[in-house]
């Protein structure tokens, strides 16, 4: 249920960015009627502009899947073959202090663009999630839950020197200690056979159908994002993803009748996202009042 969310005087739309660096061709996908926007943008630069235009915040929820800093020359198993773990320059570690500085920088902006009762979800492995949690505490956010996402069929550990990595952690936090966050308890209980939902979620990784428009190395399953959105928002809420990737957050938001804004810098992922968002809007057309 919603607890006294303070509504900003303005609603987000692309027209609010006229006269900024994002007023021309930086919006690569836009559907004002559905409330879906995707920007070719650095999320920190983008949020700095929003902070000036929406001093009370604008987003009801944020989902962030930041770089895990895993691309260090290691190996993993993919489709039965040994492959390098190098996802791209954006995922290369820069040392613990610089990594934490980066996490604090984008999280501090996220906190400011959230509405007073808004919440943020951040996913990660041990390489990044402890820094994220510490930064949240430094910024005065209220930690609500840590969710363990268990993957039932993870790739094997080829070195045989470690336990097989089969989980990721999600931290759910409110903007501040004073926030009255939204939690749809009854909906979560209903989806869990009438029992309280626990903090360990077992879900498979994205299937082939979810990668029909291309592959992203850290793509999350739509099922995971749908549960997050159903748990912590209501219809017509505005959700933001600062590291949109293949825009799974946007696809899930569309399916659940929420609005979505996202930022991404990689051109091939922007193209993939645009195709996925267009498809999701078409698939969900019958669920909207046309």
237/61 Cα distance (integer angstroms): 8
- The whole model's pTM is what? 0.88
List the domain boundaries for the chain.
Answer: 14-287
55/165 Cα distance (integer angstroms): 41
Predicted pLDDT at 211: 86
Q: Is the CA virtual torsion 124, 192, 118, 271 positive or negative?
A: positive
Assigned CATH for 14-287: 3.40.50.150
pLDDT per 10-residue tile (average), the chain, 290 residues:
45 78 82 95 95 95 89 46 48 78 97 98 95 98 98 86 94 98 98 98 90 87 98 98 97 98 96 97 70
Q: Dihedrals φ, ψ of 137, to 5°?
A: -70, -40
């Amino acid at each position: 249920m919603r607890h006294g969310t303070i509504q900003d005087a303005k609603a987000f739309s692309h027209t609010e960015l006229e006269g900024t660096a994002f007023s021309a061709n930086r919006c690569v996908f836009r559907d004002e009627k559905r409330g879906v926007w995707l920007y070719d943008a650095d999320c920190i630069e983008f949020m700095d502009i929003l902070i000036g235009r929406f001093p009370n915040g604008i987003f009801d929820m944020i989902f962030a899947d930041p770089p895990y800093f895993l691309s260090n020359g290691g190996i993993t198993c993919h489709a039965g073959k040994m492959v390098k773990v190098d996802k791209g320059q954006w995922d290369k570690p820069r040392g613990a202090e610089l990594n934490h500085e980066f996490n604090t920088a984008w999280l501090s902006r996220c906190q400011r663009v959230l509405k007073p009762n808004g919440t943020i979800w951040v996913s990660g492995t041990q390489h990044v999630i402890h820094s994220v949690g510490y930064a949240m505490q430094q910024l005065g956010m209220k930690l609500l839950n840590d969710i363990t996402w268990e993957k039932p069929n993870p790739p094997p550990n080829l070195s045989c020197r470690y336990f097989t990595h089969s989980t990721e952690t999600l931290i759910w936090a409110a903007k501040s200690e004073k926030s009255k966050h939204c939690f749809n308890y009854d909906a979560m209980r209903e989806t869990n056979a009438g029992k309280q939902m626990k903090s360990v979620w077992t879900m498979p990784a994205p299937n082939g159908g979810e990668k029909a428009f291309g592959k992203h190395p850290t793509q999350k399953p739509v099922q995971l994002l749908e549960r997050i959105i159903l748990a912590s928002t209501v219809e017509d809420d505005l959700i933001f993803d600062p590291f949109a990737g293949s825009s799974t957050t946007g696809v899930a938001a569309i399916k659940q009748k929420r609005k979505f804004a996202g930022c991404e810098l990689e051109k091939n992922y922007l193209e993939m996202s645009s195709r996925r968002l267009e498809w999701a809007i078409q698939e969900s057309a019958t669920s909207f009042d046309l």
